[in-house]
Each structure stands twice: as C-alpha cells, then as structure tokens.
Structure 1
Amino acid sequence: MDQVEKQRPVILMVDDDEKLLAAVRRTLSGCFEFVTHTDGHAALDWLAENRDRTDLIISDLVMPALDGISFLKQSARMAPSIHRVLLSGNVSSLSLREAINQAMVIRVLAKPVAVSVLKDAIERILNAEAAVKKTVAGPSAVMVNNAIDRADFHTVLQPRFRASDLGLCGAEVLCRMPTLEKEFGIDEIIESCQDNPVINRLGSQLMALMVDQAPRYSALLGDEANLAVNISAFSLKTPQFFELVIRFYEKMRMRGVKVSFEIPERQLVPNDLEMLANAARLRERAIPLVIDDFGSGNNSLDLLRQEVFAGIKLDRDLVRGTMTDFLDDAFVEWIAKVGSKLGLSVSAKGIESAKVAEKLQVYGITELQGFHLGAPIPLEQWEETAGMSLRASG
C-alpha cells in the first residue's frame, strides 16, 4: 500500500469549501494523493516540510486567513519549480496580472468547478510536465525518409468552416504515414524531421500530389476550393524549396485552387531574419502565410509585430481552455480583437463541442475547424459522400 501511495502524484489543495475538498478527496483519491487545507498558513507549513514530494499546488482565490494570491506568491518563493493553479469565481484584471507575474500561476479555473474538470486540468499539467522529462526513443528523419521511399504516405482533408454561419470555406490538407503512425503520433513524426532536409523532400512530394489532385479539389469544393497546407520554417529558408513553394502556388491557382501555408509557432523566432525576409517575399506576392498553433509558445505577440503574416490559427489546447480557464479565455477574446484591428484572419482548431464554437463566434473568430464540425477524411471518401448527397437530392 505504501508503494502505491508513493506512485500517486501529490496535490496540495487549499480551499475554504469543505464540501469541495471532501468531494475531491473522495472522487480522485484513486488517481492522486490529495493533501487538503482550509487555512493557507497551515498549508505553507506543510509545504515547507514536503516540497520535494509535491507535484502541484491548487488554491482558492478567496480564503479567510490568507488570500489565494498571497498564498501562491509565498508558495512560489518556497517551491518555485512546482506548478500553481488558482480557483476563482471572479478575478479582476489586476489580480489576474498579479497571479501570473508574481504568483507564477499557469492555470486559472472558474468556480464553481466540477471535479471532472479539475481532474482533467491536473492531468494536462502533469502530463505536459512528464512529456518534457520523457527521454524514450521516438521517430527519426531516417524513418520518415524510408517511408517516403516506400510511398507510405497519403493526404487527408479536414473541412474548414466560416465562424459566422458555419458554412464550408475550404479544407486543410494533412499528411498521414500509416506504418509509422502505428507506433508514433503524426505530430511527433513531423517534428522529428522539421530541421532536416527530409522535410523538404516530404513537402515537395505532398505538393506534387496536390497538383495532381487539384482538378478534383476544384470539382469537390467549387468556389470554396481554399486549401491550407503546413510547411516548416526550415523549408521556408531553403532557397530551392522557397522557389518551389511559389511555383506550386501558381500551379494550384491556375487550376482553380487557392492555397495558404501554415507554420507552427514553435518553429518561428522573431529575430530569424532569413525566415522573416522570405515571409515578406510571400506577402508581397499575396501568398498567405499563417502562424499555426498560435499561443502555444512564448513568441506569439512578437511575431505579430513583424507584419509578414496573413493570419493566425489558435492552438487547440488554448481553444479547449476557453471553457474552463480564465487565462486562455481572456487571451482568445483579446487576440480576436487584435487580429481584427490588424486585418488578420483568426481561425481556431480543436473545436470539440457546439458550446466552444458558439463562444468563439461571439468573440469574432474568422474560421473554425475541429472534429465536432468535421474530421479529416481521404479525398476519395469526401467525393463519395458528396456524390451520395447529389444522388439523394436528385
């Protein structure tokens, strides 16, 4: 029993709501070891003796003896490496800044908070921390190159929708590698070769495939034949690949298909002059370049100041957090306004429910994408579905 106890993450939770603490202990004791206090001073005394075995600290904002932000600020000085979460029914912008900048809070959860929501937030934080420490072998550029040699890759299309009326407005072309995906996720497969010449080879193969399929895209989507496709920052800075991108864009345009390119934020650095110069060249040619996974890194706002991007696509975890996290929700609402003022498209992926879609519509997001609206499917399957709809209506 003692060994099992040691294996469970230890969560220090401070809240004056005894019923919530009891529900948390009762419901989540099988997943985590909860140490709960209603008094912030007592919690700090416990933390001083147990900081080495504590994995997460959660605190209510309003408490009688010591308010939540003061408690979290003191815990940050005592144990700076332990993540902190603030619970609040209503938090002012001043308190929010204090929580972020001084208490180093990484999540703000809205109260009343369901135990299931709390569990999900805890697991996300701990899993993200574990992913940073994880050192197991993953996919490699050599594996990707071998998959290209075997032609063991194909594309799928994920539909994109206007936020205003949820009408179809295009699709994103995504790469799939069936054999490698038996062991690894597609994101980590692509990540493994993002700084290797093999990413250029994969990109050129996918663009050639898209040129061949362009007439089918046009027939399927008609006026909404607007396709988004990912490229890497490494590829954008390779002169030969950069010229290939321009030729590909023109070929698709002549075939009645508009293309925009997306680069993940984690690959972009605001002082990368070579990347910015080529991004500016694309903008001069009216070739849209979009920041993908916007809000997932530390360069979000600095990148917007470069004025070379046509739009942003919000990170899926950020979008998901709009329903439970004050920080994520406030940032998404604010960035939608900023994007509008700058003349940028602001799209969101990871739409998993109607409630998320409705909230983003209110915020003025331009475009929505996610499994709730439409999952990625092969071109052939989409064509068959469209054909069945036509036969049914005819």
Structure 2
Amino acid sequence: MAMVGNKRPVILMVDDDEKLLASVRRTLSNSFEFITFTDGQLALDWLSQNRDRTDLIIADLVMPTLDGISFLKQAARMAPTVGRMLLSGNVSSISLREAINQAMVTRVLAKPVSVAVLKDAMDRVIQSKVPVAKPVFGLSPMMVNAAIDRADFRTVLQPRYRASDLALCGGEVLCRMPLLEKDYGIDEIFETCRDHPVINRLTSQLMALMVDQAPRYRAVMGDSANLAVNLSTYSLKTPEFMELIVRFYEKMRMRGVRVTYEVPERQITPNDHDLLASASRLRERGIALLIDDFGSGNNSLELLRHEVFAGIKLDRDLVRGCMSDFLDDAFVEWIAQVCSKMGLSISAKGIESAKLAEKLRIYGITELQGFHFGSPVPLEEWEATAFMPLSASG
C-alpha cells in the first residue's frame, strides 16, 4: 500500500461486530488509520467534521440504530467523493440495487470476510482512479411541493392475498412521482418531507384521487376492495388533517371501499402521546391503524402494549430473513403467536417465493404481499387483467 509521506489513509468503519473491528485495528494499523464505530449515527457525526481527511468509508449492512445502506446514503451526501464499501452476509437483489444506485457503493463484500480479503479490497478502492459517483443534491420539501404543482404524482396498487387460501383480499395504494424519481428514490422523497406540511398536501391530493377512483376499485376488486394507505406521524398528529383522515375513510366506505391506514414503525416512539391519542381516536371510530415495517426499529414490542393499533405489517427485510437467519425466523414465528393471542392482524410484505409464503402461512400470518404475488401497477393494469385467486403452488 503506497502512502504519501508518512500519512496513512483514514478509514471510517462502522460495524456492530466489535471483534471484527478490534481485529482490523490490530492487524492493519500499520497501513491504515482506522476510525471505528458500532453506532451509525455517531459515525455520521464524526464524518461531518472530518470528511476532508477521510479516504474510505466501510459499513456493515445490519447495525443496531441505522442500517448500512441508509448510513452509506447519508455518507454519500456528506462526503460524495469518498469511496464507500458495504459488508453483508445476505444482500437481496433489491437491496444491492439500492446500495449501488442510491448509496453509490464502490464495492460489496460478503461476510464473513477475512482481514486479508478486506485489506485487498480497501487497497483496490483507494488506489482506483475511478471517481466516485456523486449523488444529486438539493432534494427538499419545496421540490416535492413543486412536483405536486405540476401533478407529478400518481397511484399504483399492489395486491394483498389472504394467507389461508391465497385469495385476493385487498391492495396497498402506493404513491409514485415519475419525474422526481428520475433523480431520487421514492423512499428518499418521503423521508425528505415526512415532517413537513408538504406531506399533508401530497397525502390529501392522493386521497382526492382515490375518492374519484373508488368506483373503479370496487368494480375490479368486488368484495375485496380493502385498501391500505400509508400515513406519516406528522399527518396523524395534525388535528386538522386528522379530520381529513376520518372524512376520507367515510367517503370511501360510502363508495364500497374499506380503508386501513398504516404508519411506519421507525416514525413512532412509545411515549409519543399526541400520536397515541390520534391512534386511539381512530380505533374508537372503528378505523384500523397498523404498524408498518414492524421489526425494523427498537420499539416493536413496546408499541403493542398501548393496544391502540389494529395489527402489524412485518418489515420486508425481517420477512426475507426467515429463510436464512435463525433469529429472524424465530422472531416472526413468535410475534405471529403474540398477535394471535392479542387479536391483532399480522401481514407480511416482501414475499418473493412460494416456499416463504407457505412458511409464513404455517406460522399464522394472515395476509401476504410481495413481488411473488404481484408488483405495484397502475389501476388501469388491474382493470385490463384482473388479479385472480392463486393456487397453493403460487
């Protein structure tokens, strides 16, 4: 490894495996200066003050407070010219595309990885003269607002199937912003405006569109016209918007379409009294509010103690882990039993195979959703080719 003078390249490495970090520091300290963290947020705080002297950033995919891809995406914005590497034991094709396209990852290494292999990869990335792709800067709530002004939004619908007999039981309505998505991922767009009034404007526009489309939902889905709609905690905690949420539910019901709301677990804290009050109000009116991405945060079980949520939707990474990770598999089986005893619905998204669907059915999952059953598509495609019940073989 060539060094300029006596300067060793500075490596920022984030991994929840303290043994790996200690081994790397001990073995490679003569060649590199390692700055190591087990907490992704603390690592970002350090990077914000030291981006100019950092030569390489390495992150594990799974970390306790911030997953590796999210960490590297933020690192890419903060230090766009610094190379980035991802360590992972099991990367799905979707996660890999996200790592490459949005986090601009230079190299992906499969764990477990030896120190020798890691050193070789680090040398190659640092010595490479290929410039790191720069992310597009400037995404802001005002850009989302401008997209709404030019009507750059539409809905797509992904089917949901009953686990017991694989019959169509509903769909999830998702938002797409085609022009804005040329430069940004849809998750980044929502993350940018989730705590800003523009999220209420976007959600209200989508609701108005859905009210207009309600007869078509009913015609194509019949008695299975049960739609899941995503909300932010910001919207749920805005009193005026809560009124809109209730009115929208009633309007859809009068048109023969039942609505269920979902709020991401990452946005919920157990002591958020304003949110819990809104959730309780919806429950009293018979309006179901589910915890989406359940298992992705640190408050999963604590949130169920409040008894204001009607059910959960398991995080897709947790669901995928059922086929390869013992702990993920055991947790999903156990939480299905807990939800059954509490009278809560439990659905799973990210289903990519019939084998996974069958395992979850045995565990007691009530609804299934994922590319194995159907991708999110415009309502027009539903009308052209109706989604029919599936056979057990999928």
8 Å Cα contact 1:55/1:83 also seen in 2: no
1:78-157 superposed matches below 5 A: 118=89, 120=91, 137=137, 139-157=139-157
The answer to whether the aligner puts 1:262 opposite 2:262 as a matched pair is yes
Distance 1:271 1:380, change over 3 A: same
Identity %: 66
* Structure 1 match to 2:121: none
* Structure 2 match to 1:33: none
Q: How big is the shift at 1:355? A: 1.5
8 Å Cα contact 2:11/2:35 also seen in 1: no
- Give CA deviations for 1:295-316 in whole Å, capped at 9, x if unaligned: 1111111111110000100011
8 Å Cα contact 1:138/1:184 also seen in 2: no
- Give CA deviations for 1:17-68 in whole Å, capped at 9, x if unaligned: xxxxxxxxxxxxxxxxxxxxxxx9xx977763437659899xxxxxxxxxxx
Q: How big is the shift at 1:84? A: 11
The answer to whether the aligner puts 1:338 opposite 2:309 as a matched pair is no
Distance 1:212 1:355, change over 3 A: same
Q: How big is the shift at 1:362? A: 1.2
* Structure 2 match to 1:294: 294
* Structure 2 match to 1:176: 176
**Unpaired runs of at least 5, structure 2:** 4-8, 39-57, 69-87, 106-133, 390-394
* Structure 2 match to 1:244: 244
The answer to whether the aligner puts 1:274 opposite 2:245 as a matched pair is no
Q: 1:50 aligns with which of 16, 19, 28?
A: 28
Q: How big is the shift at 1:350? A: 0.5
8 Å Cα contact 1:200/1:235 also seen in 2: yes
Number of matched residues?
Answer: 305
- Give CA deviations for 1:138-174 in whole Å, capped at 9, x if unaligned: 6321111001000111000000001111110000000
For residues 384 and 156 of structure 1, the distance between their equivalents in structure 2, rounded to whole angstroms, comes to 14
* Structure 2 match to 1:205: 205
Q: How big is the shift at 1:330? A: 1.2
Distance 1:270 1:388, change over 3 A: closer
Distance 1:261 1:82, change over 3 A: closer
Tell me the SS of whatever aligns to 1:262. Answer: strand
For residues 84 and 372 of structure 1, the distance between their equivalents in structure 2, rounded to whole angstroms, comes to 24
Tell me the SS of whatever aligns to 1:333. Answer: helix
For residues 178 and 46 of structure 1, the distance between their equivalents in structure 2, rounded to whole angstroms, comes to 43
2:198 corresponds to which letter in structure 1?
V
1:120 corresponds to which letter in structure 2?
V
1:204 corresponds to which letter in structure 2?
S
2:316 corresponds to which letter in structure 1?
R
Bigger proportion of residues as helix: 1
Distance 1:387 1:137, change over 3 A: closer
1:373-388 superposed matches below 5 A: 373-386=373-386
2:262 corresponds to which letter in structure 1?
E
For residues 269 and 119 of structure 1, the distance between their equivalents in structure 2, rounded to whole angstroms, comes to 29
8 Å Cα contact 1:156/1:175 also seen in 2: yes
- Report the RMSD for the aligned CA atoms in angstroms: 3.8
Q: How big is the shift at 1:353? A: 1.2
* Structure 1 match to 2:215: 215
Moved more, 278-287 or 133-142: 133-142
1:294 corresponds to which letter in structure 2?
F
8 Å Cα contact 2:283/2:308 also seen in 1: yes
The answer to whether the aligner puts 1:229 opposite 2:229 as a matched pair is yes
Distance 1:245 1:137, change over 3 A: same
Output the TM-score relative to the length of structure 1: 0.69
For residues 245 and 90 of structure 2, the distance between their equivalents in structure 1, rounded to whole angstroms, comes to 44
2:167 corresponds to which letter in structure 1?
G
1:312-331 superposed matches below 5 A: 312-331=312-331
8 Å Cα contact 1:354/1:372 also seen in 2: yes
- Give CA deviations for 1:77-113 in whole Å, capped at 9, x if unaligned: xxxx99699xxxxxxxxxxxxxx9xxxxx9xxxxxxx
8 Å Cα contact 2:172/2:227 also seen in 1: yes
For residues 261 and 336 of structure 2, the distance between their equivalents in structure 1, rounded to whole angstroms, comes to 20
For residues 174 and 22 of structure 2, the distance between their equivalents in structure 1, rounded to whole angstroms, comes to 49
1:347 corresponds to which letter in structure 2?
S
Q: How big is the shift at 1:236? A: 0.5
| Larger-gyration structure (1/2) | 1
For residues 61 and 208 of structure 2, the distance between their equivalents in structure 1, rounded to whole angstroms, comes to 48
Q: How big is the shift at 1:385? A: 1.1
* Structure 1 match to 2:284: 284
Q: How big is the shift at 1:366? A: 0.7
- Give CA deviations for 1:308-367 in whole Å, capped at 9, x if unaligned: 000100011111111111121111111111111111110000111112111111111010
For residues 276 and 180 of structure 2, the distance between their equivalents in structure 1, rounded to whole angstroms, comes to 33
For residues 50 and 82 of structure 1, the distance between their equivalents in structure 2, rounded to whole angstroms, comes to 17
For residues 11 and 292 of structure 1, the distance between their equivalents in structure 2, rounded to whole angstroms, comes to 27
Distance 1:385 1:322, change over 3 A: same
Moved more, 166-175 or 47-56: 47-56
8 Å Cα contact 2:159/2:170 also seen in 1: yes
* Structure 2 match to 1:189: 189
8 Å Cα contact 2:11/2:34 also seen in 1: no
